Structure 1
């Protein structure tokens, strides 16, 4: 069974294409699993600047067919041609899969290097896949290891102490545009802010604004979830009727929804026709909550995800090196464990064969001598001896697997004992719990 991934991110393609590719992102794993026997599991990771599919194929020979199935389904959901989709994604397999996901989860592949929000998004991607029963056991182990790696990077390097995120950098830029220095803890005191959306980014934005002194925050949700959102976070829920008045009085508008209803430049002009105060708009939605033309309006400053990426501070080389080392070691450890698991079936087969022989002999002893103290002593001695004899073959199986020589072990079992290890059947999607830590995004 082989893990592979399809990766499309801000590093290789523009964000507009990433947004189009990720249309219907959550439906892709369910769809391909329903169609393709070559695919045993799939998890979709869709964020503000990346769309990635992690999948498990039955064998190396099935990877190409499995990839083609995923590409076809993404093409259907996005409306892009299969050729365009195929070119947009980079395919990774083998150790490259874990190295990349671990780096992503740790924030090393983010527009804002070291951001902590991505770790929560990785956890939620696995949770969603488990709820949909699309996460195979190997994918569960992969994503759980990625979450652990992100925690280690946060705890053991300066990247974690910086607490950078797309939201924090965006708000730093907004504070500078409004003439106040960032990092004072009160740079948004007295500001009137309207947030569009109630998802993870909206929650992170609300927390950041509150921590920076903002007490006048209104929230609008086209789906009607604003009231529930503010109930636990504070702020004022807006309806369609009260939205225009809030926008007219706002100093800052922040888009986090990615909804189909984009705010047009004409809407801003109409609603704020009598206002002379400057307006800062932060569009943090991948699919854009605001028409780019608002940037041309007088008195309006528009900041987008691309603005945030360009303004993100560079991290110290030492911290990056430490984090990269943690990621590399974690990926190596995961790959080693994967290789060891490849001989689990052989170890079980050898133990079953040996214990079967032992049980037969013990049954003979009992038939001849009954359940006497002497018979029990013989059984105890024989079981201890067999356990000792199995130790070295078990250790050697794992050593050979790590060295990539598991086939020689399997051949030895067949030659010496006549044991043929069958290819394991597909495992049912794992439902084991993920890391219970609360999301930071």
Structure 2
């Protein structure tokens, strides 16, 4: 059984995700928790923690025991209470687990749909599981298929360009309000993927003065290679008041700008100041673009008389359908990959059984060859040996079929004969001609009585 326990921005608070984000080595704790966990891979990012588990059959088809064990192991590793994990996680089993991972790796479950970092993070999770010795053949196939699916989605759809399209569309919607982009003073709040895309789009429009602020302290690192102005936390209010355009694109769990904050910053900037502490004159009107998910800017900012707020909801209303629905093509690829993976797993399950059957048959053949070697070779001896071999091969099937029929499970036996040999229920009745069944020709005719006698003879001599 494949099992996925998932906590993400969709079902868990960011405070809990923060506690889970460093648990990239949780696979070791999971794999050691119970012997029925034969493999474990942990995907841990800033807004997602997922445990993928290969579970053996002693747990049966009911995943609840395995899920409870997984929650307990994750709790031990991270210190997060089991009750919180239970309340803020989703569980996916077998085909659903595979489809979910494919969707995650393709960027379809991310805060920013189509973001590319997640595919690398999923690959890193598998690599770490290999280092820890916690992966399994089933998880290897699962994660390798996820990597292939991610590449297919990236190469065959526009999902990876979705973020860039939204940023550029947002700036296009601002064109009617901005006379000269090169004279604009911009404050960028955030240093993630959207921030990088935003800087590139602003540069393309001729913007030169871009300041960047990061509550996580990454402003300096982000600003230096891009020739931006990092904003000291003490000066954020001044920059908020002086900016013609404010762009927010953080993954903060709460808003980073509201009407009260903006008004307070303006009021402070309006106080007389001289010397190096003086700030530029406040613009008569400000534009605020909120690209955050969840939203970074409180809706009350739109109520201020001299502020225009453009958020994702508004941007989507103006977006071309082929841009913001590009995820449909991506999801079709994910669905197809999940279907193929399902078929491959079923074939592998049958393959193991068929390999065992083949081994049993050849063991019987070897025994019969050894048995015949002790007798004088003749046509009669050869015929007897072949009949004995046929009987031994039929013996287990015949015995199990009779046992099942005695327990009112004859329909299962007939269904198996039909599925494996093309022998329908009608052909299996005494009145039917055995030679009419599809398998009879392949086996060289219908010798039902001979086969039964051979089976009985083999059983007697076994």
Question: Same fold per TM (> 0.5)?
Answer: yes
Q: For 1:39-438, what aligned pairs fall within 5 Å after superposition?
A: 39=37, 40-44=39-43, 51=48, 53-59=50-56, 61=59, 63-69=63-69, 82=83, 86=86, 89-106=89-106, 115-117=113-115, 119-127=116-124, 130-131=127-128, 136-137=135-136, 138-139=138-139, 141-157=141-157, 159=158, 163-165=161-163, 168-177=165-174, 179=176, 188-258=181-251, 262-263=256-257, 265-273=259-267, 274=270, 275-286=282-293, 289-304=296-311, 313-315=320-322, 323-338=330-345
Shift, 1:320, TM fit: 6.6
CA distance in 2, matches of 1:9, 1:293: 24
SS in 2 for 1:116: coil
Scaled by the length of structure 2, the TM-score of the pair is: 0.56
Deviation (angstroms), 1:232: 2.5
CA RMSD of aligned residues (A): 4.9
Contact 1:4 1:91 in 2 (8 A): yes
> How far is 1:147 from its partner?
3.4
Contact 1:189 1:215 in 2 (8 A): yes
Q: Give yes or no for contact 2:7–2:90 (8 Å, CA) kept in 1.
A: yes
**Matched residue SS, 2:176:** coil
Distance (Å, rounded) in 2 between the aligned partners of 1:284 and 1:348: 55
Deviations 1:178-209 (A, max 9, x none): 6269xxxx995443222223333433333333
CA shift for structure 1 position 164: 1.6
Distance 1:108-1:200 versus aligned 2 partners, 3 A rule = closer
Cα distance in 1 for residues equivalent to 2:301 and 2:70: 37
Contact 1:198–1:225 (8 Å) recurs in 2? yes
Kindly tell me: are residues 236 and 59 of structure 1, through their superposed partners in 2, closer, same or farther at Cα, counting changes over 3 Å? Answer: same
C-alpha offsets along residues 87-126 of structure 1, whole Å, 9 cap, x if unaligned?
Answer: 66443212222223334444556788xx531x32232244
Taking the aligned partners of 1:317 and 1:305, their CA distance within structure 2 comes to: 11
Change (3 A) 1:63 1:311: farther
Partner of 2:19: 24
> Per the alignment, in what secondary structure is the counterpart of residue 198 of structure 1?
coil
Residues of 2 paired with 1:348 and 1:264: CA distance?
66
Kindly state the Cα deviation for residue 56 of structure 1 after the two structures are TM-superposed: 0.8
5+ residue gaps, structure 2:
271-281, 361-419, 421-462
Larger radius of gyration: 2
TM (normalized to structure 1)?
0.58
In 2: Cα distance, 1:254 partner to 1:29 partner: 32
The higher relative CO (CA closer than 8 Å, separation ≥ 6) is in 1
